[in-house]
Amino acid sequence: MTEKIINKGIRNTLLGVFIFIFLIILAFLNKINTEYILTHEELMDKGAVLLDTPRKFSGFDLVNHDGQPFTMKNLQGKWTLLFFGFTHCPDICPTTMATAANFYDSLSEEDQSKIQIALISLDPERDTAEKLSQYVAYFNEDFIGATANKYVLMSLGVQLNAPYSKVSLGEKNYTIDHSGNIVIINPYGHYHGFFRPPFDPEKMKVSLESIILAFDKQY
């Protein structure tokens, strides 16, 4: 009789332990699956900086790599990542574009449909539509290349905290000093923030997912 009571007690104890472990695992899985919005500080640790209030900026008229208009209307309804550079850039531009391609490739098709990535060329003299088409397609066929005259580019760059300057290298050769940031534009076409270098595709993915989640909850 005593032995049966002891065995029953052991079984009850083991059952309680199993139930406890099961509940812990269930809570852990629920925590993993729960969508989490990163704080501004956590985003900054991952290289993403958000404006306190998304900022409107004036319209612009660019021409994309297909020779078609690229204007404020093209920023509506999608998240847009803009990088200001040029195809003759020897280092930061190809490195950034390659990282952007790795980031984009890591996304699901559904998430890719929500995002567009564009190179805004600061070198309209050399970066023709044909040149831009070849350049952006090398990194990803979904990428957009666009440019305009220097006055449009200067205005757009200043508004998005991406100023630039042309630097002479002598004998009619030149380079361009420019920002290394990737500008984040929200689906309303407002300046939302930026990614600052060095870029990490996984950190960019986690950050942008959180930014989109927070935006969707707020708007």
pLDDT digits (tens, 9 = 90+) for 146-162: 999 999 999 999 999 99
Q: Tokens 């870029």 sit at which residue?
A: 199
Residue 59's closest CA among 142, 134, 152, 129? 152
Predicted local confidence at residue 218, as pLDDT: 86
Phi/psi for 170 (5° steps) reads 85, 155
3-state secondary structure of 97: helix
Q: How far apart are CA 200 and CA 205, in angstroms?
A: 9
Tell me the average pLDDT across 195-217. 96
* Mean predicted lDDT score pLDDT of the chain: 89
Predicted local confidence at residue 3, as pLDDT: 53
How many helical (H) and strand (E) elements, i.e. helices and strands, does the chain have? 7, 10
Name the CATH topology of 40-218. Glutaredoxin (3.40.30)
What is the model's pTM?
Answer: 0.83
> Do the beta carbons of residue 111 and residue 78 sit within 8 Å?
no
Q: Residue ranges per domain, the chain?
A: 1-34, 40-218
Q: How far apart are CA 94 and CA 87, in angstroms?
A: 8
End-to-end CA distance of the chain: 67
Report the b/e string of 86-103 with b at 16+ CB within 10 A: bbbbeeebeebbebbbbb
pLDDT digits (tens, 9 = 90+) for 161-181: 999 999 999 888 999 999 999
Q: How far apart are CA 144 and CA 114, in angstroms?
A: 14
